[in-house]
Structure formats: structure tokens, C-alpha cells
């Protein structure tokens, strides 16, 4: 019996003994942050490429932008009527991820598109000269 088969037999024995999938409780410890994000920058913009496989409705995804942070929240669900789950490795459920951006950006994206499971959000950098001072009035 090869090592992989031994592992699966051992895992099956542990699950039978404990009465549930013991390892699923630790799954989040061993997985990478989700969703996965690539950041690209130019002189005047930052491009966020976000992998969102399984998204069917864009209403399930929410993106918030604040200064040097982008927050992605959403929910992924799969439904196959008449079928029961035998093995489940794909992410499903609610998620939230906060990404620190390399520089401050405007709160409104220049463009946000979704195609084939990839969301692209282009943000305009906040330039040094665009920062404005707030004048404080003396009420005395």
C-alpha cells in the first residue's frame, strides 16, 4: 500500500472513531487567504485583480475602498439539486478579506469589471498635491 492510500485509510479510521470529519475543523489553518488577490501599480493607478471562482451573482460581492485599504466581502454557494456532497474542497460560504494598498487611493474606482471568475478593480492614486487641508473655524 502506498503512502497516500495509508494516509486516506488512517484519516477514514479517525473520522469513524470520532464520528465526524475531524480535519475539517483545521482546514482554514492550512489554506491560503481567500480570495486570492494580485496588485499591480502604475504611476497614477492601482489595479486589483481578485479571483472569485463560483460567483454567479455580482450582488453576492461587496467591495469597500478607504484610503489605503480595500475590503472584499461576499458569499459563494453551490447548489446541485438531487446530489449529495461526497467530497468538498472548493471554498463556499461567507468571506471577508482586507488588503493593504501600496499608496492612498480615491474612494471611487475608475473601473470595476467581472469576467470568468476574475474581478478587476482599477483605483486612481491620490496624488500628494490632491490632499487638502481642512480649515478649522474658531467659534469664539
For 29-41, write each residue's pLDDT tens digit: 555 678 999 999 9
DSSP string, 43-81: SSEEEEEEE-TT---GGGEEEEEETTEEEEEEEE----T
> 7-11, 20-24, 56-60, 65-69: lowest mean pLDDT where?
20-24
pTM confidence score: 0.66
Assigned domain for 135 exists: no
**Which of the four pLDDT bands, split at 50, 70 and 90, describes residue 132?**
low
Do 49 and 103 lie in one domain? The reply is yes
Partners of residue 63 on adjacent β-strands: 72
Q: Which residue range is the domain that position 15 belongs to?
A: 1-30
Domain count, the chain: 2
User: 52 versus 2: which is more confidently predicted?
Assistant: 52
On whether both 39 and 90 belong to a single domain, the answer is: yes
Whether residue 28 has pLDDT greater than 80? no
Residues 121 and 61 in one domain: yes
Q: What is the mean pLDDT of residues 13-19?
A: 76
Of the ranges 8-12, 38-42, 112-116, 131-135, which one carries the lowest mean pLDDT score? 131-135
Q: Taking residues 51-67, report their average pLDDT.
A: 90
Amino acid at each position: 500500500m502506498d503512502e497516500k492510500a495509508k494516509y486516506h485509510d488512517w484519516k477514514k479510521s479517525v473520522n469513524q472513531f470520532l464520528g465526524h470529519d475531524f480535519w475539517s475543523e483545521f482546514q482554514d489553518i492550512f489554506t491560503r487567504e481567500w480570495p486570492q488577490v494580485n496588485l499591480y501599480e502604475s504611476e497614477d493607478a492601482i489595479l486589483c485583480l481578485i479571483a472569485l471562482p463560483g460567483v454567479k451573482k455580482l450582488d453576492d460581492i461587496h467591495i469597500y475602498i478607504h484610503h489605503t485599504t480595500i475590503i472584499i466581502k461576499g458569499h459563494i454557494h453551490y447548489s446541485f439539486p438531487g446530489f449529495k456532497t461526497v467530497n468538498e474542497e472548493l471554498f463556499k460560504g461567507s468571506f471577508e478579506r482586507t488588503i493593504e494598498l501600496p499608496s492612498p487611493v480615491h474612494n471611487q474606482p475608475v473601473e470595476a469589471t467581472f469576467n470568468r471568475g476574475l474581478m478587476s478593480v482599477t483605483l486612481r492614486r491620490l496624488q500628494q498635491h490632491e490632499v487638502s487641508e481642512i480649515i478649522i473655524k474658531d467659534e469664539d
